[in-house]
Structure 1
Amino acid sequence: MVTCSVLSLFKNPSTRAETLSFRVEPNCQIIGSFNGLLCLYDYDGDFRLCNPSTRLTSKKSPHSFWSRQDITHFGFGYDQVKDKYKVLIAIRALNMTKVHTFGTNSWTTIQNPIFSESGDKEGKFVGGTMNWLNKRTGSYGNWAIVSFHMEKETYSEVLLPPKHDGGNKHVLDVLSNCLCFHYFDESHWVLWLMEKQESWTKLMLIPHNRICNFRLFFHPLCISGNGDVLAKCLDPQLVLYNANKGTYNYPKLRGWFRPDMHIYHESLVSP
């Protein structure tokens, strides 16, 4: 595993990535990060938590018995009321969601809402909820956000920004601790931010006509106080956009080998 300070990237796009002594096994996938903890999923179907700062890992979850092909949706988040970390997986064939609370020895079962094959697979955690873009069954071009409340362990639906049902290359992310919904039109990526419950604000327009790969893959990772947006895309791997100047920069992470990137905050939290 290698790390790089986000602040250093904003100041110096050619910052070198640092290698940690903490090693993530090649068969593990990072499926989420919160409070300085990473949730890892291996090919054997087991989950565990790790803190790269302290080099500590938790015990593995009880075996889930489902392969990656069986899991249609998943997510990792935090129940603030009970001070517990949870991972959930949705199994389409069984039409149910399995939830594991780390520190326990079991999975609980919850009935699924109807997930579509066109929706997100990886959930976005923010404000105590896990969220996925999901196409409503039996409709064409009609999308919404399926939201899972981590403490209550219940599903609900959140509407997209007004007069929009998903658009082209629509994506759900987390930016500034808020849900961020974005899509592209003929010349721009359009970013919306949900700063209050189900209240959307158009954040900015990012022109993509200069770089065609923006049309294929664009995920904002974070935004600075002066309006710089750091995002990952296909090629180059990272792009830094200054909204005030309308300029682009392309950070090069020398020493970066893994294709997946996650923002995490260093902490001493025990997994």
Structure 2
Amino acid sequence: MHMAAQHPTAAVLLCEVVMEILSWIPAKPVTRLKLVCKSWNSIISHPHFVKLHLHRSPKNAIVLSTLTPPFPNKEEKQSLVLSSVESFIQNPSSTVDAQENRHSLHLQDWVLDSCNGLVCVARLLFHPNNDITDICFRLLNPLTGFISENSPCLRVNVNNVFGFGYDESSDSYKVVTFIRDSSGTVTAQVYSFRGSSWKTINSFPAFPYCVEANGQFIGGSLNWLGVRNPHGDDYHWAAVTLDMLMIVSFDLKSDTHKQILLPKGINEIPRQEPTLGVWGNRLYLLYDYKNTHFIAWQMKEFGDENSWTQLLKISFHHLGVETLFPEFIFENGNIFMLRGRHCFEEVFYDRRDNSVKRTNILANNCYFIAFDYVESLVQPC
């Protein structure tokens, strides 16, 4: 007796049920399930499944650390290290020292940022004139092993600012930087990894950007702290006033920019340049106040200047430091990682219980920088 052929409708329903179940499984085991059978491999590899899985993946559960030797030589390499947020906070030194989940990079590589499980890596080619460099970018997915082709090289000043993000309207990942020519005109240079060349966007405000941090990606835009009306490319922080500061927000869909005002409650210029941060779809402004307190503002609704809320103000005395530099935000804006006076001293402040944890991160005498990261199956075309 021959078994009746499966009805097409039943086959489609079975496929949808399998997709629904698989979409809730973490990324790493899902990649192994591609080996179960051809139909599962087809389901897991389908772009619709990849997007559904990313949407349902736990957000902000992974920290991506980059380790850079302080005195590079041919024997040493940079590394990417992935770890859970919990293990990183509990024991950051041993976490970044661990060999598992480590990925090697070239010494000339520089990690720009991470978005949707993709890491944007820049390759720097310096000229004899150390103020100029050629730079190209590629994407990699540490989970799947995907590596994109390099972007075309772009000649930039070493003080350029960069940003990396995702344009949902075109399903494309983009890199943005700003270039000022000899006449003082500023243009945005945009590269889409779906394209083949850099695109020039004119009519940008001719002022420099704080170069200590990359553009922060949120709400389909990249955001930098900018300084109005300085003379030339450079500026002296001691001469900057509050009315000169704003956030410049670049929309990746429309290639346009707007300016976002800082919180109205800031009544004097910070002693050091503020830091922008993003966690859980919220924008943060972090800075020190009179070298005695650490202050954090949160924009509850991105783009709404009236939604700025002062999240915390904590004294350096309570933190046990004399000076600090904001670095990273965890746990939906509840835990702040701050770098103390010494480059290997990290301070974790948990505002939920007002607790402070200080630790020295030696990491084999390597410098490290932390990024938000989520494991995904994304492999852009």
Give me the TM-score of the superposition, normalised by structure 2.
Answer: 0.64
Tell me the CA shift for residue 167 of structure 1: 2.6
Tell me the CA shift for residue 208 of structure 1: 1.7
For residue 299 of structure 2, the aligned residue among 182, 188, 194 is 194
Distance 1:43 1:14, change over 3 A: closer
SS of 2:257's equivalent in the other structure is: strand
1:219 equivalenced with 2:327 (yes/no): yes
Distance 1:117 1:89, change over 3 A: closer
Distance 1:219 1:177, change over 3 A: same
Tell me the CA shift for residue 30 of structure 1: 0.6
Provide the residue aligned with 2:270 in structure 1.
167
CA distance in 1, matches of 2:256, 2:335: 36
CA distance in 2, matches of 1:269, 1:251: 35
C-alpha contact (below 8 Å) 2:166/2:220 kept by paired residues? yes
Distance 1:68 1:228, change over 3 A: same
**Runs of 5+ consecutive residues of structure 1 not aligned to the other structure:** none
Distance 1:3 1:129, change over 3 A: same
CA distance in 1, matches of 2:144, 2:362: 24
Query: What are the equivalent positions in structure 2 for 1:86-125 lying under 5 Å apart?
Result: 86-93=174-181, 95-111=186-202, 112-116=204-208, 122-125=214-217
For residue 55 of structure 1, the aligned residue among 112, 131, 145 is 145
Tell me the CA shift for residue 105 of structure 1: 0.6
Tell me the CA shift for residue 201 of structure 1: 1.2
The letter of the residue matching 2:150 is K
1:131-190 residue CA offsets vs partner (Å, 9 max, x unmatched): 111111157332110110011110110010014375332221113321101222243211
SS of 2:372's equivalent in the other structure is: coil
SS of 1:43's equivalent in the other structure is: strand
Tell me the CA shift for residue 40 of structure 1: 0.8
Provide the residue aligned with 1:134 in structure 2.
226
C-alpha contact (below 8 Å) 1:75/1:87 kept by paired residues? yes
1:83 equivalenced with 2:171 (yes/no): yes
CA distance in 1, matches of 2:309, 2:137: 36
Number of equivalent positions: 266
The letter of the residue matching 1:192 is W
The letter of the residue matching 2:138 is R
Provide the residue aligned with 1:6 in structure 2.
85
Tell me the CA shift for residue 33 of structure 1: 0.9
Provide the residue aligned with 1:248 in structure 2.
356
Distance 1:14 1:56, change over 3 A: same
1:266 equivalenced with 2:347 (yes/no): no
Q: If each structure's helix is expressed as a fraction of its own residues, which one has the higher value?
A: 2
C-alpha contact (below 8 Å) 2:328/2:370 kept by paired residues? no
Q: If each structure's strand is expressed as a fraction of its own residues, which one has the higher value?
A: 1
CA distance in 1, matches of 2:107, 2:285: 31
CA distance in 2, matches of 1:251, 1:5: 18
1:190-210 residue CA offsets vs partner (Å, 9 max, x unmatched): 110111132211111232232
CA distance in 1, matches of 2:85, 2:123: 27
Distance 1:166 1:72, change over 3 A: farther
CA distance in 1, matches of 2:149, 2:191: 13
Provide the residue aligned with 2:281 in structure 1.
177
Tell me the CA shift for residue 212 of structure 1: 1.4
1:93-127 residue CA offsets vs partner (Å, 9 max, x unmatched): 25211100002111111122222265665211111
Distance 1:251 1:53, change over 3 A: farther
Q: Say which is worse superposed, 230-239 or 199-208, in terms of deviation.
A: 230-239
Distance 1:166 1:159, change over 3 A: farther
Of all paired residues, the percent bearing the same amino acid is: 30
1:199-225 residue CA offsets vs partner (Å, 9 max, x unmatched): 2111112322320131xx222332358
The letter of the residue matching 1:167 is P
**Runs of 5+ consecutive residues of structure 2 not aligned to the other structure:** 1-78, 126-134, 231-239
Query: What are the equivalent positions in structure 2 for 1:25-64 lying under 5 Å apart?
Result: 25-44=106-125, 45-64=135-154
1:145 equivalenced with 2:223 (yes/no): no
Indicate the structure (1 or 2) with the bigger Cα radius of gyration.
Answer: 2
